[in-house]
Amino acid sequence: MPPKKKQKKDNGFMVFMKSMKPQLEAKGHKFPRGLTDVIPVCSPLWNKLSPEEKASYHQKAKDGGGTTFIKEERCDTRGVPLNWKEREEQKKISEKDHLLQKVEDMISYFATQGTLENHYFYLAHFNIAVTTSEGEYPPCEIAIVKFSLLDGIAKCYHDFVEPGQIRLGYAHEAKLHSENTHNIPTFGFKLANSDYVNITNNIKEMLKQPDGGIAPLFVVDEDNAKAIYIVDWLVKKSCQLDDSYETCSPFKIYSLNKLFYELRRQADVNNSTLRFSSIALVAEHFGKGMFFYSKNMACQWHVEEDNVTFCSLTRVRNYAYTISDLCCEYYGLSLLPNRHCPSEIADDNKYVVIPKVTKTEEPEALVEVKKKKEEEEDDREPSGPPRLPNTPATANFKGPGTGRGVLGGSMGPVSSATQSPGRSRAIETAPPAGRGRGRGLLLLADDSD
């Protein structure tokens, strides 16, 4: 009997079988299971061979005349050879390592340049309609915050996305997923945006760097595959709507876990207590949802639904607040309400911030955002511009236009930071595609009116 397991080299009998198979097939033999079916036919023939003839086959086997016993290669239920899957897994692991290294190098570079505290990172969360076994994750809600250690949350983007036709057979699953999590209706949701060009452009605009590049999006590791799918999906959908749309996706998805890990580590590389024990553990800090039930976390719709914890906006703000909570003090940075922490838990003493670094990025964002401020009634969203270099921020919140009290103007009166689901929330709406310009683009289109 031939060995059941995959073997590296064939023996003489195997080489004999392989050489006989075509001849036997030519005579009308059928071997639907491959060599397994050849064995009973060839065994008697093999036994009739002289020792010299057998020896010649053994020699051929030794010389490498036969290799792996392909028929015996183990496959998964879809028929994909496990060997191949392992190789693909291996490839994925090395790609993942490569991306983690990229984040590490990036953070280390900013740290040596002294710009880490200033640097803006874009933290993203996506809610999806359903997960299909075809590897699809049609999105229904997107939120991104622009965050730095110094400024906390400087901008937010939020939108509901029309997930489109759900794959046949998944309607019930989508309904269950919605009911168990975000509650966003899969069909006919009036706030869902189906202008994918607009959504994609808004995200691009937010991520656009002075050199024209697009900053990466950071998502928690468990959302990695989902996020990669969704940004590609948005570009594809945009191309379907607009023939001339750039087909090549400019988006990059990086590990938020690794970012958090490195931000904390870089606060003092010589202090081993600042090192999280693992990158996986980092996600547990987000998972605790310390800030889920704080004020001003969710979008208006989720506030009205009384389901704030599953809102994408809650999630991204929670990322920013959690990172701030566990990193800022080691950089000598205090916490600003609605930027580093929810306003109601901000300690008065911590409102005073004297940045130890010089603000270098994006001073041009000031003008436009400030203009927008004047149109706001209830500016509880952390929509302001980055703080100016060495500008002590104070808790003395005043309205816009009070000199250079950038922080005061941007944060708005704390007392007005209350949820009022019944009334339209202050929204800084993204301009429609094509009309958006400038970088002071605060997007908080939760379409609550």
Nearer to Zn ion, 146 or 315 (CB): 315
d(CA 410, CA 380): 9
DSSP conformation class of 141:
E
How many amino acids of this chain bind Zn ion (CB under 5 A)? 3
* 365 lies in the site for Zn ion, by CB under 5 A: no
d(CA 337, CA 376): 18
Token couple for 438: 């400038």
d(CA 122, CA 253): 10
Query: Pattern 129-168, binding to Zn ion, x per CB under 5 A?
Result: ----------------------------------------
* 18 lies in the site for Zn ion, by CB under 5 A: no
Nearer to Zn ion, 305 or 378 (CB): 305
Nearer to Zn ion, 311 or 441 (CB): 311
Q: DSSP for 151-162?
A: TEEEEEEEEEB-
Nearer to Zn ion, 297 or 395 (CB): 297
Nearer to Zn ion, 10 or 162 (CB): 162
Nearer to Zn ion, 61 or 311 (CB): 311
d(CA 210, CA 120): 12
3-state secondary structure of 398: coil
The minimum distance between CB 174 and Zn ion, in angstroms, equals 17
Specify the stretch interacting with Zn ion by CB under 5 A; choose among 87-95, 292-300, 372-380, 434-442: 292-300
Nearer to Zn ion, 139 or 355 (CB): 139
In Å, the largest CA–CA distance within the chain is 105
The minimum distance between CB 320 and Zn ion, in angstroms, equals 16
- The CA-based angle 256-310-225, given to 5 degrees, is 40
CA 400 from chain centre, in angstroms, equals 35
- Number of Cβ atoms within 10 Å of the Cβ of 318: 26
Nearer to Zn ion, 118 or 312 (CB): 312
For the chain, the straight-line distance linking the first and the last C-alpha, in angstroms and rounded, comes to 75
Specify the stretch interacting with Zn ion by CB under 5 A; choose among 171-179, 300-308, 394-402, 414-422: 300-308
The minimum distance between CB 207 and Zn ion, in angstroms, equals 20
Q: Interaction with Zn ion in 111-130: which residues (CB under 5 A)?
A: none
H or E, element range at 123: strand 121-128
The minimum distance between CB 308 and Zn ion, in angstroms, equals 8
- The answer to whether 243 and 207 have CB atoms below 8 angstroms apart is no
Please select the residue that binds Zn ion; options are 299, 320, 441, 442, rule is CB under 5 A: 299
The minimum distance between CB 312 and Zn ion, in angstroms, equals 6
Q: Which residue is nearest to Zn ion (CB)?
A: 311
Helix intervals (H) in 49-140: 51-62, 82-113
Q: Which of 394, 388, 380 is closest to 350 using CA atoms?
A: 394
- The answer to whether 442 and 372 have CB atoms below 8 angstroms apart is yes
Strand partners, 121: 147
- The answer to whether 226 and 244 have CB atoms below 8 angstroms apart is no
The minimum distance between CB 421 and Zn ion, in angstroms, equals 12
Q: Interaction with Zn ion in 306-345: which residues (CB under 5 A)?
A: 311
Nearer to Zn ion, 151 or 159 (CB): 159
Specify the stretch interacting with Zn ion by CB under 5 A; choose among 54-62, 298-306, 320-328, 347-355: 298-306
Nearer to Zn ion, 145 or 299 (CB): 299
The minimum distance between CB 298 and Zn ion, in angstroms, equals 5
The minimum distance between CB 220 and Zn ion, in angstroms, equals 17
The minimum distance between CB 301 and Zn ion, in angstroms, equals 6
- Number of Cβ atoms within 10 Å of the Cβ of 46: 17
* 302 lies in the site for Zn ion, by CB under 5 A: yes
d(CA 436, CA 291): 32
The minimum distance between CB 141 and Zn ion, in angstroms, equals 5
DSSP conformation class of 207:
H
Burial class (CB within 10 angstroms; exposed 0-12, middle 13-18, buried 19+) of 391? middle
Query: Pattern 392-421, binding to Zn ion, x per CB under 5 A?
Result: ------------------------------
Binding stretches for Zn ion (CB under 5 A) = 299, 302, 311
